Amino acid sequence: MGIADAPREQWATRVGFIFAAVGSAVGLGNIWRFPFQVGQEGGAAFLLIYLLFIAIIGFPAMLVEFVVGRYTERNPVGALEEIASGVWSYVGWIFIATGFIILSYYSVVAGWTIRYTLLGLQDGYLADAGEAESQFVSLASGLDAILLHALFMAVVIGIVAYGIQRGIELAVKVMVPAIIVITVGMAAYAFTLEGASEAYAYYLSPDWGVIAAEWQSILPAAAGQAFFTLSLGMGVMITYASYLAQDRNLAEDGAIIIGFDTAIAFVTGLIVFPILFTAGIDPADPGAGAIFVSLAAAFGDLTLGWLLGTIFFGTVAIAALSSAISLMEVVVSYVIDERGVDRKVAAVAIGGAIFLLGIPSATDLVLLDLFDLFADQILLVLGGLLLSILVGWSLSDLAIAELGRGTGDLGAYGTAWIWAVRIPVILVLIVALILGILEYW
């Protein structure tokens, strides 16, 4: 137990935990980052590698975090101090730092989604790609962006301040079903568009030549995206599992969470690419802003585009919120557990600091891109790698026992999981980290 004497909070229901974890996973990673990565990294070729990585590294790595969280019932820093010694006990600090950095720019992008939701209501999407681009540039950085970033952080602080059951659990139970219904509905609509078949070909039939020629950039991008989208590599799943009762089947919950996240990302592609192809826009435009520019231009072009855009960007904003909550909870749980700080005070102080750190990203797009690349391809991968080495190689007995707790004997599955962590996960992450570092410099 930490310094605080009050009993540690828990999720009220199993569904509450799953919704919260799905809420964390499904976010800007699926609806903003995923399509622009697909576009930037060669369409279906990227999708294929990404799906492969979700299965062979994402799933085992998520179970690693679950096991550590439920076993220790602590925040990431406390958890690592409990199970590791020497320098390894500092890995939790990398998680906290990563959470801080990601939320700082994540909130700026979330601010853009609020801006574009409002823009739809004002019928303000511009069909001309050049005009849409200058509109984006003027909205994405500067005072406007800072204010919306502040607004978004204020809402995140408000929810996290209310704690696990009354804040996070309640919020996600409303948000997650809404996200699912709306994305599926929009994909059905996108199916009827003129550019749909061309878009499906681009998105769904991989070009092997592209994989052969560009694996050095596809590989780290896909590994980083797999971690980012599943909220891995920075202790979110450690933190959320720490609020879990002991009798849950972790592997089953993990599979459900990953299934939802992957489905939402995949379906988002079925929305975004038909819309872009119908409006005659090239999905390969790189960078964090491209998807906003292209979609806004497409919405400016479509019949009732303002309405579709309002719904689309509004949903993205909600998805971003349920993820941002989890990013902040990592840092807040640390301050509560280890420093005995009151939850409300912690939420305001940490949220305020993250707001300040986000100001550079809200004033300069190039900085935002750099923050994103650094966090995604280096920090998350590094955090996931270190935790996998620790759990896979030096805590394997404990880990297998914890995975099986509440499920009965795992038999060969436990061993298969540990070996998946020991070899494929660690190898892919090492290669991705090296390629990511080379690319970053």
CB of 229 to Na ion, least distance (A): 3
Nearer to ligand PHE, 228 or 313 (CB): 228
Asked if 268 is part of the footprint of ligand PHE (rule: CB under 6 A), the reply reads no
CB 227 within 8 A of CB 376: yes
CB of 316 to Na ion, least distance (A): 12
Nearer to ligand PHE, 200 or 292 (CB): 292
CB of 320 to ligand PHE, least distance (A): 7
Asked if 27 is part of the footprint of ligand PHE (rule: CB under 6 A), the reply reads yes
Is the C-alpha dihedral spanning 375, 380, 382, 386 positive or negative?
Answer: positive
CB of 228 to Na ion, least distance (A): 7
| Region of 26-34, 206-214, 241-249, 305-313 interacting with ligand PHE (CB under 6 A) | 26-34
Q: What value does the CA radius of gyration of the chain take, rounded to a whole number of Å? A: 21
CB 361 within 8 A of CB 105: yes
Out of 18, 20, 21, 25, point to the residue binding ligand PHE (CB under 6 A). 25
| Region of 3-11, 20-28, 170-178, 421-429 interacting with ligand PHE (CB under 6 A) | 20-28
Nearer to Na ion, 126 or 319 (CB): 319
* Nearest-10 Cα torsion for 309, 312, 318, 319: -140
CB 126 within 8 A of CB 300: yes
Chain CA centroid to CA 261, Å: 9
Nearer to ligand PHE, 232 or 275 (CB): 232
Binding partner of 24, given ligand PHE, Na ion, none, CB within 5-8 angstroms per partner class:
ligand PHE
Nearer to Na ion, 30 or 217 (CB): 30
Binding partner of 28, given Na ion, ligand PHE, none, CB within 5-8 angstroms per partner class:
ligand PHE
Query: By rule CB under 6 A, what string of x and - marks binding of each residue 279-318 to ligand PHE?
Result: ----------------------------------------
Binding partner of 323, given ligand PHE, Na ion, none, CB within 5-8 angstroms per partner class:
ligand PHE
Single-letter amino acid, residue 130: G
Name the token pair of 117. Answer: 């939701």
CB of 319 to Na ion, least distance (A): 8
Instruction: Write the CB contacts of 441 (distance below 8 Å, at least 6 apart in sequence).
Output: none
Out of 21, 68, 83, 102, point to the residue binding ligand PHE (CB under 6 A). 102
Asked if 228 is part of the footprint of ligand PHE (rule: CB under 6 A), the reply reads yes
Asked if 104 is part of the footprint of ligand PHE (rule: CB under 6 A), the reply reads no
User: What gap in Å lies between CA 251 and CA 264, rounded to an integer?
Assistant: 20
Single-letter amino acid, residue 434: I
Asked if 28 is part of the footprint of ligand PHE (rule: CB under 6 A), the reply reads yes
Asked if 24 is part of the footprint of ligand PHE (rule: CB under 6 A), the reply reads yes
Nearer to Na ion, 225 or 278 (CB): 225
Asked if 322 is part of the footprint of ligand PHE (rule: CB under 6 A), the reply reads no
Long-range contacts of 394-397 (CB under 8 A, 24+ apart): 395/83, 396/422
Nearer to ligand PHE, 231 or 388 (CB): 231
Using alpha carbons only, what angle is made at residue 132 by residues 127 and 135, rounded to the nearest 5 degrees?
Answer: 140
CA neighbours closer than 13 Å in the CB half-sphere of residue 129: 10
Asked if 236 is part of the footprint of ligand PHE (rule: CB under 6 A), the reply reads yes
Residues of this chain that interact with Na ion (CB under 5 A) are: 25, 29-30, 229, 261
Single-letter amino acid, residue 108: V
Nearer to ligand PHE, 217 or 326 (CB): 326
Out of 37, 262, 326, 333, point to the residue binding ligand PHE (CB under 6 A). 326
CB of 183 to Na ion, least distance (A): 12
CB of 330 to ligand PHE, least distance (A): 8
Q: List residues near ligand PHE by CB under 6 A.
A: 24-25, 27-30, 102, 228-229, 231, 234, 236, 323, 326-327
